Structures are given as structure tokens and as C-alpha cells.
Structure 1
Amino acid sequence: MGLLSLKMFGALFYRPAKAGREELEYLENAWVTAVIPIYNEDPVMFEQGMRSLLAQSRLPNEIHIIDDASANDSGIKAAKKLRREFEARGVKYTVSVQPENKGKREALALGFEAAPYSDIFLCVDSDTVLSRDTVRELLLPLADEKIMASTGMVLALNHDSNIFTRLQDLRYGNSFLFERAAYSRLKSVLCCCGALSAYRGSLVRKYLPDFLNQQFLGKPAVFGDDRRMTNYCLMEGQVVFQETAVGYTAVPEKLPHFLRQQVRWNKSFFRESLWAFRHQKKYRPAFWLTCMELALWLVFGTAMFYSMVILPIMKPAQFVNHIGDYLIFMVLMGYLRNVRYLDFPRRGMGFVKRFGMFLLAPLYGVIQLTLLTPLRFYALFTLHKGSWGTRQGGVEVSVAGDHENDVTEIFEEEDPYSDKKVTETLQLMRLEGVALRTRPRPAGGIPSQPQPIPGYDEEQHAGVPQQRVSWGAPAPAGQQQWQGGYEGHPDPYQQQHPQQGAYPYQDPSWQQGNGQGGW
């Protein structure tokens, strides 16, 4: 109940980040690179997602699309078809194909490596459709030099498909508006959603070799790239949730697809939580939140196993007497955890419809009890297995047909979520002739170094090498120097700390290595 109370209190007082003129000028001039891995895509959905990126009020400066050896070339064709439209808007645009399937993690790494000068990396899933001001809103927290990453608000694109997708939309709302919003008050969001997140470029470059070569139980880590990158960010600074940056992603419409996704997410939770327990600084909120999450799951899982398996066998009469109490508790908790879903202005969903969705909250509690809790135990006992599990047989969710027009409205209409004051400030700055996106760049428009953060000394800020990285093997655990902060960038939770040592990939004696995996 303590953690639940903390989440409720934090979510109640959550407010999204805002920015003034100086911060907005920095963000407008910052070089933003979008990295989008694709694999066995539905071409219609992928094209709609890319068109939503093209319609952004704040375009990324550069986009890298990496196809991870898909079984067909429909995704590549859709990507290439849009090249001229992006280039006409001044966006650098590249499309590349992996010779063999190596996994999303390596595809991301290729995109990161292609832009060693980038101030901010924007990570968007190939099946995510963005509202018109989403990129601009997602960048707002990064005007604060202590913020290493921000994650947006993600909802189900296909929520109207069936009762199953409606429940998932409700769960997404709870996950972001309740859990991430609460942890954002402590600036310690434990997982940036892979569908929509932004990371500081200097941090990505610093940890790229370890990210690419991560292993668990002697095997390459395939999934959990979002949680891993979030862990790096939490070691160096702070991570927040930005409610006004809204994206819509395709959720599983069939039970087998959903189960494979949940197994992957649960394995990622256990693996990265154990890693954070070992490596995160003990004085940081992220460490204690991780401990509480693990302890809560252990206590809750054990209690559920006893109540639903042991008690009916050993004491059936007592089980019958208490089943009503549990059902009341489940209904109450379901509604309390999802109450913020009611006041969120869900596109295409008025209050009456949102209220109808809200009434389904206890039903998800039944799924949690009967399906997802046993699934977590299965994930824990099969941590040594590392396959991705989805899209191996091709496209699993499509928005072709009647849903296409609904998707287009998301990015063609005015964004109802964004901060209108920010819009007004930017318009005023342009009317006053404030030079935006005009910092000196060499030929081709590519910056030679990252953009300095407001109020920051550029020489100190450039503490992370900007050269092309080579894929070094991860350092032995005893030699990895997990220190908060880096040169010129203080740890926001500690006034003084030892200077960050050289990372292993700077030493040429480290052997080359390649990550392997799947989707």
C-alpha cells in the first residue's frame, strides 16, 4: 500500500515540463536525429507513422531507417517512397538494410553511430503515429541539462478493434498517467517507452559499446533495449515523463501475440531491475524505486500463489470466505489506478466513451490475476531464453482499410495535447526575427559538434568523445566504472563525486564484438 500511495500522490501532483525563450531557442537549434528500426512492417501503418513524423511542427534534422533483414521489402519501399518529401523539408534522410537479422538493438546502434554529432536522439517505433507537436513537446524536458531522457505518452492506436485492445489501452493509460507520472515527480522514470523516447546524444555515445554488447547469463541480450538505455540515463542524471508528447502504437489484437509481448517485457523487467539493483547509486531515487518494485512483485506474487493455489487446496472453506474480500479489493484498486484516464483528453473519445472504458478496469485485474501473474513466473524461470518472439512470421497488426482515415486525422488535425503557450512563444520569436536553427554548420548542414545546453560551458560539455565508435567487448564487471555524471556534467543527486574514468572502448586493446539477437 505504501508504494501505491506514493504513486497516487505523485501522479496527482505531476506536471509536464515547460520551457522559456532561452530553452526553446536551444531546442530549436539542437540537432535531433530520429532512429527508426524496421522489421517485417505493415507498409500502410509504417507509411502513416512516417507521415506523422513529416507533419511535425518541429521536424528532426536527420532520420535513419534501418531494415533488419525483413522477409519482404515492403517496408523498404515505403521508406524510400518518402525520401524526397523529407529532403524537400531539409531533413537528412537515409535508408539502410542489414545483410542479416541482428536484432533491434544493433539496428538502433547503427543509427546512433551514423550521427556522432547529434545533440538528441529520437527513438520512435515503426508502428507509432505521432500527434503534430509530439516531437517538440518531447524535447522540452531536455532543455534542463540534468535530464538525460524523456518519454512520451503512448496509447493504443487500434483500441477500437476488440475488447482486448480496449483493455490494453486502459493499461497503457495506467502505466503512463499513474506509474510514470508518479516516478517523474522524482525525475526517476524507470523505463522510457521504446515507442516514443528522446535521449541525450552524449550519453548514448558514452554507453553505446556496452549497450550493443550486453550479455546476460553468458548470452547476448536481445530485448530490453529501452530499459537498458534508461538505466544508463538514471546513472548519469534524471529521466522524466512528458504527458503532452502523445503517440499511438499498434497493440496486439490476438492473445498469442499479446502473451509473447508480455513475456519479453517481463524478462526485461527482471533482468534490468537486477542490473539496476547492483549498479545504481544507493542515494538515487531510482535505486529505491527499483527495490520497491521488485519487493512488491515478490510479495504480491507470493500472496497470489498462496491465495489462489495453496489456500483452495489446504483450506477451501477459508478460501470461499475470503474470495469476496479480494474481489472488492481488486475492483477498488482497478478504479483508483485508472482514475486519471478519465480526465485525459483522448483523441476521438469523449468523456462518455472514456467512462465506459474506465468501467472495464476491474476486468484487466482479472487478466492480471489469472494470466499475467503466472506469466511473470514463467518469464522469471525462462530468463535464459532470449528470443524476441514477435513478427517472426510477418506482419501481426495492420491498420489498412477503415482505420486509415482515423490514423491520418491524428497528425493532420491540430494537436490537442501540446502546450499552447510554447506555440505562442515560438510564433512570437519568429515574428521578432529570432534566428532559429541557424547556428553555423559546415557544408551539407551537418554540425561539427553538439549544441551546448543553455547556461553551459561548451568546452566542459564536450566531455564525451565525438569520434566514430568501434564496437568493443563489454568490460568485466569488476572493471566497469559506473559513476554518476561525466566530465563537465555534475551528478544532480550528489554535490561531489569521483571523475568518470575512461570507458573501455577508448582502449584499443579491447577486442571487437558484435551483438546478436532478434525481434
Structure 2
Amino acid sequence: MGLLAIKMFMALFYRPAKADRQGLEYLEQSWVTAVIPIYNEDPVMFEQGLRSLLAQSRLPNEVHVIDDCSADPGGIRVAKKLRREFEATGVKYTVSVQPENKGKREALALGFEAAPYSEIFLCVDSDTILARDTVRELLLPLADERVMASTGMVLALNHDSNIFTRLQDLRYGNSFLFERAAYSRLKSVLCCCGALSAYRGTLVRKYLPDFLNQQFLGKPAVFGDDRRMTNYCLMEGQVVFQETAVGYTAVPEKLAHFLRQQVRWNKSFFRESLWAFGHQKKYRPAFWLTCMELGLWLVFGTAMVYSLFILPILHPTSFFHHIGDYAVFMVLMGYLRNVRYLDFPRRGMGFAKRFGMFLLAPLYGLIQLFLLTPLRFYALLTLGKGSWGTRQAGVEVSVGGAEAEVTEIFEEEDPHSDKKVTETLQLLRLEGVALARTAAPRSQAVVQEQPLPTPHLYQQGWSIPQQRVAWGFSAPVEQPWEATQQPGPFQDEYLDPSWPHGQGW
């Protein structure tokens, strides 16, 4: 209870990052590349996600969509369909298809390799819908050079589907507004959410070889990419949570889908926590937070399994004597951990509805105790097995007929963003500060002649011309990056093996 009180205290005093005029100018001129892996997507939901990115008050400079050899071609058709709309805004846009399914990690790496000059990588899941100012708000922490990554606030898009999705929405709120908010006070968020995060390009390039070649128990690591990248960031600097950068993602509506997702997340928790225990610097908060998370789970999980499954058999009288104490503890914990859910503004969800959702907190506690705690032990025992995603042969979650409701998320005014930031940016633009998409990425490094690599991508008629490259940011310094269109179908183009993958970047 003492640790719970400390975490609650830190979460209650959490404040999102802000940036001064100089920081905002830096972010406006930074080169931002969005990387979106897709696999068996619901075409309607994916299109809404891309349109929410297109409607951002701060557009990315580039968008790379990478299809991981989907069985359903609907997603790739949507990606190609929106090419002209993105290019009309000045955004560089590529659509790529892998010849075989290799996993989300490989797909992300293709996007990273395609932009060796990018200063910030924006990682967004294909089923994530962004509020209008989400990208702008997510970048704000990166105005501080000590911050290596920021992660946004993610909630359930389909929370009204059934009571199961409502409980997941409550859990999402708890994991961000309680856990990540508390750890953000120490600048040590342990896991950036894969649905919505931003990373410094220099850091991504430095660790990309290890990211791609990671193995565990002699097998390639194919899940846990978000937690792995967060570990790299914590080795180099700070990782924070930005509450004002809001995204809505589709959560599982069926138990089987949910269980596969939870097994994958729990395996990632164990594997990356063990790795962090051996690699993180001992004087940094991230190391001790990782030790605390592992230790608490070991003690609490073992105690719960014993109390719920073993004690009733060995000492049934004692169990039933204390069952009321267990129930009171579970209810109290559920409400304390979710209290911040009540004061977070939600589009289309007033206080009365939020309060109704809040009352369900103890019910999720039951799921945690009787389903997820044993499932975590199962994940620990099967660490050697894994697959990259929760999708099987086809689309598992769809927005159905809710397209209009989804569109409102990015067409209406964003209730979470900082209005002072909006005013400052308007002033900067009136004063003629160059926007990122019309200016080359900056570099303070020595310039030397070097051709850019051919992207490790299956691209539809795109190649990169030879340019002068500045090591450090590895960015074109004479002019913005330009793609030259060439005729022809998808071509198998691979990265030059002599290209220095992240070494010294």
C-alpha cells in the first residue's frame, strides 16, 4: 500500500511537458517521419487513421506505410488511395510491401532505414485515430535535448462495443494516467506505447542493428518492439508521458484476441525487464523502477495464486474466513488506481458516463486476479515462443458503421491541447519562421560526400537521388529530401551492405 500511495502521489502531481518559443521553433523546423506498419487491416479504420494524420495541425514531413505481406489487400489499397492527398500538402509519402510476413519489428526497421536523415520518428499503429493536435503535443517534450522519447495518451476507440471493451478502456486510462504519469515524474517511463510514440532519429539509428538482430533464448525476438526501443532511450536519456497527445485505438472485442494480446505483452514485460536489469545504469531511476516492477509482481503474483488457488484446497476454513478482506482490498485498489480517469476530458463522454465507467473498476480487478495473473505465469513459462501480432488470418476489429463518429475525433477542436502553444505557433508563422516541410533538416556535423542508400523497401516507383550528407543527423544539408518518381511496378530493392547502419550516428 505504501508503494501504491507513492505512485498515486506522483501521478496526481504529474504535468505534461511544455516548450518555450525557442523550443517550439526548433520543433517546427525538425524533420519528422511517420512510420506506420500494417497487417490485415480493416480498410475503413485504417483510412480514418491516415486521414487523422493528414488533418494534424503539425503534419509530419514524411509518411512511410509498410505492409507486412497482408492476406487482406484492403489496407494497401487504402494507403495507395491517399497518396495524392498527402503529397498535395507537401508530405513525402511512400507505400511499401514486404514479399513475406516478417513481423512488425522488421516493418518498423524498413521505415527507419528509408529516412536516414530524420530527426524524429513518429510511430503510429494502423488502427490509431489521432486528435487534431496530437502530433504537435507529442513533440513538445522533445524540445528538451535530454528527452529521447515521448509517448502519448491512448484510449479505446471502440469502448462502447461491450462491457469487455469498457473495462479495457478503464485499464488503458489506469496504465497511462496512473502508472506512466507517475514514472514520467522521474523521466523514466518504462514502456512507450506502440500505438503512439516519438523517438529521436539519432538514437533509433544508433541501436537499429541491435533492434533488428535481437535474440532471446537463441531465437529472433519478434514482439516487444516498443519496450525494447524504450530501453534504448532510457540508456541514453529520459522518456516521458505526454497526456495532451491523445490517440484512440481499437481494442479486442473477443476474449481470444485479448488473451493473445496479453500473452505477447507479458512476454515482452519479462524479457525486456530482465534485459534492462542487466544493461541499465544502476544510478538511474529506470533501473530501480524495473527492479520494483519485477519484485512486486513476483511477490504479489505468487501471493495471489497461493491465496486464490492453493489456500482454498489446503485450508478452506481460513480462506472463507478472509474472503471478505480480499474483496474489500480488491475494490479499494481498483478505485484508487483509476481515480484520475474521472477528471480526464473525453470527446463525447461527460462526467456522468466517466463515473459509470469508473464504477466498473473492481470488475476489471476480478479479471486481473482470476485471468491475467495466471496468464502472466503462462507467459513466463512460454517465453521461447512468440509471434509478432494478435491478428490471425484476417481483420479482427472493425469500426463497423461508426465512421462519422470516428471522423469527429480529428475534425473537431482538440480539447486536450495547450491553447498557448497554438497562439505561439501562429505568431511564429506570421513572423516567417520556416516550417519543417519547406526546410532541410539541420545538421551541425561536418559535411562529406556520400550517396544516400537505396531504401530497404519494396516501393512503388520511388528512388532517392544522390545528395550531400551530413554525418551526425545524416541529413541532406543543401535542400530538402526529394523523391524522384520513376515508372515501373514494385521492385525488390535492398540496402547497400556497405551502408553504416547507425554506427557513429
Give yes or no for TM over 0.5.
yes
TM superposition shift of 1:372:
0.3
1:61-86 C-alpha deviation (Å, 9 max, x unpaired):
00000000001211110000000000
Task: Indicate the residue corresponding to 2:418 in structure 1.
Answer: 419
User: SS of the residue aligned with 2:291?
Assistant: helix
Conserved? CA contact 1:263–1:375, under 8 Å? yes
Q: Which moved more, 1:426-435 or 1:234-243?
A: 426-435
Which residue number corresponds to residue 504 of structure 1? none
* Letter paired with 1:91: V
- Residue 343 of structure 2 aligns to which amino acid in structure 1? D
Q: Secondary structure at the match of 2:436?
A: coil
| 1:340 Cα deviation after fit | 0.2
- The match for 1:434 is 433
Residues 316-354 of structure 1: per-residue CA shift (max 9 Å, x gap): 111011110011011001000000000000111000000
SS, match of residue 93 in structure 1 = strand
CA offset digits 1:283-329 (Å, max 9, x no partner): 01000000000000000011011111221111111101111001101
The C-alpha deviation readout for 1:433-484, integer Å capped at 9, x for no partner, is 333337753xxxxx4xxx36xxxxx339x9xx9975999xxxxxxxxxxxxx
Instruction: Describe the SS at the equivalent of 1:387.
Output: coil
Pick closer, same or farther for the CA change 1:210–1:468 going to 2, 3 Å.
farther
Q: Do residues 374 (structure 1) and 374 (structure 2) align?
A: yes
Distance 1:397 1:310, change over 3 A: same
1:56 corresponds to which residue? Answer: 56
Which stretch has the larger CA shift, 158-167 or 391-400? 391-400
Equivalent-residue separation in structure 1 for 2:425 and 2:499 (angstroms):
49
In the alignment, which residue of structure 2 is the partner of 1:39? 39
For residues 91 and 170 of structure 1, the distance between their equivalents in structure 2, rounded to whole angstroms, comes to 36
1:93-492 → structure 2 map (5 Å cutoff): 93-388=93-388, 390-401=390-401, 403-437=402-436, 440-441=439-440, 447=441, 451=442, 458-459=444-445, 468=453
Distance 1:113 1:131 in 2: 28
Code of the aligned partner of 1:82: L
Post-superposition offset of 1:397: 0.3
Deviations along 1:13-55, one digit per CA (max 9) or x if unpaired, are 1000001111111101100000000000100000000000000
Q: Take 1:410 and 1:228, find their aligned partners in 2: how far apart are those partners? A: 30
Contact 1:134 1:246 in 2 (8 A): yes
Q: Amino acid of the residue matched to residue 421 of structure 1? A: K
Mapped contact 2:32–2:118 kept (Cα < 8 A): yes
SS in 2 for 1:374: helix
Residue 10 of structure 1 deviates from its aligned partner by 1.0
| 1:342-387 alpha-carbon deviations (Å, 9 max, x no partner) | 0000111000000000000000000001100000000000001022
Cα distance, 1:323–1:113 mapped onto 2, change above 3 Å? same
Quick check: 1:273–1:294 contact (8 Å CA) kept in 2?
Answer: yes
The more displaced of 432-441 and 189-198 is 432-441
In structure 1, C-alpha distance between the alignment counterparts of 2:82 and 2:395, rounded to whole Å: 21
* Gap change, CA 1:510 and 1:201, over 3 Å in 2: closer
- After superposition, the C-alpha distances for 1:136-191 in whole angstroms (9 at most, x for unaligned) are 00000001000000000000000000000000000000000000000000000000
2-side partners of 1:87 and 1:434: how far apart? 22
Shift of 1:431: 2.6
Residues 3 and 292 of structure 1 are in contact (CA less than 8 Å); yes or no, is this contact kept in structure 2? no
Shift of 1:400: 2.5
**CA distance change for structure 1 residues 40 and 350 in 2, over 3 Å: closer, same or farther?**
same
Q: Is the 8 A contact 1:159 1:168 kept in 2?
A: yes
- TM-fit CA distance, 1:508: 7.3
- Name the counterpart of 2:84: 84
Q: Which amino acid letter does the alignment assign opposite residue 301 of structure 2?
A: G
Change (3 A) 1:470 1:510: farther
Q: 1:125 to 1:141 in 2, by over 3 A?
A: same
Deviation at 1:257, TM superposition (A): 0.3
Q: Gaps spanning 5+ residues in structure 1: where? A: 442-446, 453-457, 472-486, 489-506, 512-519
Q: What is the root-mean-square deviation in Å for CA atoms of aligned residues?
A: 2.3
Distance 1:67 1:413, change over 3 A: same
Cα deviation 1:202-232 (Å, max 9, x = unaligned) = 0000000100110000000010000000000
Q: What is the deviation of 1:192?
A: 0.2
Equivalent residues of 1:156, 1:169 under 8 A apart: yes
Structure 1 Cα separation of the partners of residues 271 and 498 of structure 2:
30
Distance 1:132 1:509, change over 3 A: closer
Q: Is the 8 A contact 2:36 2:108 kept in 1?
A: yes
User: Secondary structure at the residue paired with 1:121?
Assistant: strand
Matched position secondary structure for 1:193: coil
> Match for 1:49: what amino acid?
G
Distance 1:509 1:25 in 2: 32
Identify the residue that residue 68 of structure 2 maps to in structure 1.
Answer: 68
Is the CA contact 1:331–1:361 (under 8 Å) kept in the aligned structure 2?
Answer: yes
Give the TM-score taking structure 1 as reference length.
0.86
- Output the CA distance in 2 between the equivalents of 1:181 and 1:29: 28
* Cα distance, 1:432–1:508 mapped onto 2, change above 3 Å: closer
SS of equivalent residue, structure 1 residue 253: coil
**Percent identity, aligned pairs only?**
84
Q: Secondary structure at the match of 2:96?
A: strand
